[in-house]
């Protein structure tokens, strides 16, 4: 892979990670309670909190995947299929820069 492509993927991954970390920080300062809440308000907060927990878990998984891709860039193994050791198609990495398998082996998973 060209050095220019690696630099571009690294910047893209770092930006996505930063954006996701900012989003997670917003979750933690989102809810302020008042003295008295109605049952409907409590139910709404509960449902909202459950949805945010699922979203937060998905964000954490994505950040982990991004961190692994960034580690692979630093180690020099980015863009190499973990199954066959062949280069992952650039087009595939452009769609998802955290891809760890070439198209052939992704379909076999």
Residue 50: inside a domain: yes
Model pLDDT for residues 3-13, shown as the tens digit of each residue: 999 999 999 99
In a domain, 53, yes or no: yes
pLDDT score recorded for residue 109: 64
Domain around 48: 3-78
Q: What pLDDT is attached to residue 34?
A: 47
Specify the pLDDT at position 43: 64
Is 99 a domain residue? Answer: no
The verdict on residue 12 lying in a domain is yes
Residue 106 lies inside a defined structural domain of this protein: no
Structural domains of the chain, count: 1
- Asked if pLDDT for residue 51 goes beyond 80, the answer is no
Q: What is the pLDDT of residues 56-102, one digit of tens each?
A: 899 999 999 999 999 999 999 999 999 999 999 999 999 999 999 99
Whether residue 96 lies inside any domain: the answer is no
Distance CA 71, CA 12 (A): 14
Burial of 9 (0-12, 13-18, 19+ CB in 10 A): buried
């Amino acid at each position: 892979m060209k050095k220019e492509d690696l630099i571009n993927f690294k910047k893209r991954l770092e930006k996505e990670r930063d954006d996701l970390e900012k989003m997670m920080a917003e979750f933690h300062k989102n809810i302020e309670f008042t003295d008295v809440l109605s049952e409907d308000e409590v139910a709404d907060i509960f449902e909202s909190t459950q949805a945010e927990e699922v979203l937060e878990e998905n964000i954490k998984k994505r950040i982990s995947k991004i961190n692994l891709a960034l580690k692979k860039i630093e180690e020099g193994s980015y863009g190499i299929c973990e199954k066959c050791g062949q280069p992952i198609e650039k087009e595939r990495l452009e769609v998802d820069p955290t891809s760890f398998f070439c198209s052939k082996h992704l379909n076999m998973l």
